[in-house]
Chain A
Amino acid sequence: MRKDKLLNIFTHPLFQLFSFSALIFPGQLFDLPYLLILRWTIADLTFFAISGILGLLLTFLSILIYRKILQWIALLIMWLSLMAFVWQLTPTIKAAIIENPISLLTCFQFLLISLLIVYKKYYGRTA
């Protein structure tokens, strides 16, 4: 019962929203949260920015109208955004991600949340 409760907390769309927004990536001057990167690049209509914002909106929508499928789709779109973002990074920044413990921690956190959401869908009991 307690395990289910914890699972529900960590797989809640709010948690998904927060962990995605709070992903930290190294920058030229200072580390940057992913939400800020999306904000700074949305005007350029880059794929990762559009998909990132879309993922956030769908996750928020899944809270409002309580549709798990929306959370799922949002999660997939978020991963697409992340992959597109990391793909276009310079080798220096990619290397810096590996060397930055905060970056690694936030990336691991989001990965864990994603895996828990998948786990809950296929193996968890409905709350």
Chain B
Amino acid sequence: MTPLILVIDDEEPVRAVLRQMLEKEGYQVEEAPDGAVGMSVLQDHPIDLLITDLFMPEKEGIETMREVRKSFPQVKIIAMSGGGRMGKLDFLPMAESFGAQRTLAKPFERKELLEAVRAVLAR
């Protein structure tokens, strides 16, 4: 069964790039522009892996992650971030504590992405 990956990011180009990269690698991809839509996608599809941005307008990434952990505990999570944004601290390290198996710092190269996906799905 080809793994189904949900990509949540408010930036359309970022979603497009990820979709292409993942599909080329053989994965199936669903997209959502924010956490709210993401949750409904999760309801309707058997998502194996969630790749989500940490900072998004409607539902902050961390909150989404928490909800996913609660409602869909089998879904693995990779968190991404562009850094900055909130104060001086980088919140990527926090994501791990909230259930992300891996984190990716944007802009990441294709091989970084694919390696992370492979590793997380393998667990």
Q: Do A and B interact with each other, yes or no? A: no
- Which A positions have Cβ atoms within 8 angstroms of B? none
- Which B positions have Cβ atoms within 8 angstroms of A? none
